[in-house]
Amino acid sequence: MPPVKKDSSPAKAVEVAAFLVELGEHELEVDQVDQLRCQKLLYFIQGWALARLGRPMFEERIEAWVKGPVVPEVRKHTKKFGREKFVAKRSAELSEQDKDFIASVWQDYRQYSNSGLIELTHEPGPWKDARAGLTDDESSRRVIELDALERHFKGLLPQPLTDEELEHFPSGH
């Protein structure tokens, strides 16, 4: 059994990727976790971790590449697999809390195809902002900043109703 992280320091992105592969292996009706799918899921995991947990899930940077967000360190481990499911070299050394969180994000995004995930990452937000001024096919190693990810994903969280909005609902008394 692999060791489990006991502190709250960020995991390695390759550990998160390895855990995504494990999650994907248990799904019969979901597309395999190839390197493209993994990269898009890492973007969503990092964004939601910043918004919901108030901390990054992993320490490596995300760059704004042509086809979407990419964690270069994970790309080094996955590029040889191309469009095939990749085999993670490292087992996930994640806390149970991190595994539960990653699994919850997986549940939210697992039904999307690779092209669907690309569309989601290409919507207005941190990836598109980081590529401002570049042509669609222009190579880039621009970093998607953590504060931009956090602001964007916090903006996607449901907002509590204001007192004025609550006045329109019956009180139940």
* Domain extents in the chain: 13-166
User: Considering only CA atoms, which of 140, 147, 166, 150 is closest in space to residue 70?
Assistant: 140
Q: Tens of pLDDT along 57-90?
A: 999 999 999 999 999 999 987 776 666 556 665 5
Q: The pTM is what? A: 0.83
- Residue pair 29/86 in contact (Cβ under 8 Å)? The answer is no
Residues 6+ apart with CB under 8 A from 36: 67, 83, 114, 117, 118
> Residue 87 has what pLDDT?
60
**pLDDT score of 167 more than 80:** no
Q: Tens of pLDDT along 27-56?
A: 765 567 888 889 999 999 999 999 999 999
**pLDDT score of 7 more than 90:** no
